[in-house]
Amino acid sequence: MLLAIDVGNTNIVIGVFEGEALGRSWRLATACERTGDELGLMFVDLLERAGVRIPAIDGVVMASVVPQLTGPMADMANRYLGLTPLIVEADTDIGLANLYAHPSEVGADRLVNAVAAWAAFGRERGQPLIVVDFGTATTFDAISARGEYLGGVICPGIQISADALFQRAAKLPRIDVQKPSTVIGRTTVASMQAGLFFGYVEMTQGLVRRIRAELGGAAFCVATGGLAEVIAPETDVIDAVDGDLTLRGLKMVWDRRTR
């Protein structure tokens, strides 16, 4: 068994692979103040409740964009699971060339997404890829037809935009992001929901089309992240949705480094 951990700014996503299959997965709220002991108790409880025996776990692989939690998470794996984790970073050999101007600046989650997308959607097709990750930030990453990570776009996530409206505009309320029934809102909340939801749909369409044009026009687009299932049906530019893309990418990097 392999334990894969994706430490994001909003959520920590955990998956247990049994062989090649992703058996169980969980999503926890990210709290930067958690210690290795707190994380250890949480992880052990989750695993045991799911019937996963701790001694059956053979390895731990993780990516983290939250430096405050990288150390405690590694400490948790060492002391509670008895394993030293493979921490995927920008300079890790992932099997794809990283053509970013400053390779060390790329988030590990963006790289492992690229690995998984290339393996699942790009290699056999021999065409470039675009990966859209609807997370705390919305990222668009481009992979060439030769399997090279080229770079991409980083935008504020939809929830960040919603929170900014509430914090910076005195009369606007805090709202949950969801699809409204019409674009023309007849209440303040409906108007905000229309701007956020349909604004992000149009942003996604526009950026994917512009990236496709720079890649030659035939790029396959895969979406992942919390809002992928919600946004994808509203646009014709997303070809596939894979909510487990990051976990699968971590598994592939582990396999490459340990085979």
pLDDT in tens, 164-213: 888 888 788 888 888 889 999 999 989 989 999 999 999 999 999 999 99
Task: Let me know: does 222 contact 214? Beta carbons within 8 Å.
Answer: no
Spans of the chain below 70 pLDDT: none
pLDDT at 168: 81
Q: State in words which class domain 97-249 has.
A: alpha beta
State the pLDDT at residue 258: 79
Phi/psi of residue 3, nearest 5 degrees: -100, 120
**Exposed / middle / buried, residue 22 (Cβ in 10 Å: 0-12, 13-18, 19+):** middle
| 109: annotated active-site residue | yes
The CATH 3.30.420.40 portion of the chain extends over: 2-88, 97-249
d(CA 15, CA 24): 6
Sequence-distant (≥ 6) Cβ neighbours of residue 148 within 8 angstroms? 96, 97, 98, 99
Instruction: Please name the amino acid found at residue 95.
Output: G
| CATH classification (class only), 2-88 | alpha beta
> Where does residue 132 rank: exposed (0-12), middle (13-18), buried (19+ CB within 10 A)?
buried
Catalytic residue among 6, 109, 133, 141: 109
Query: Residue 163: its pLDDT value, please?
Result: 85
Measure the CA–CA gap between 123 and 117, rounded to whole angstroms.
9
The confidence score (pLDDT) of residue 208 equals: 97
Q: What backbone torsions phi and psi does residue 59 show, to the nearest 5 degrees?
A: -160, 160
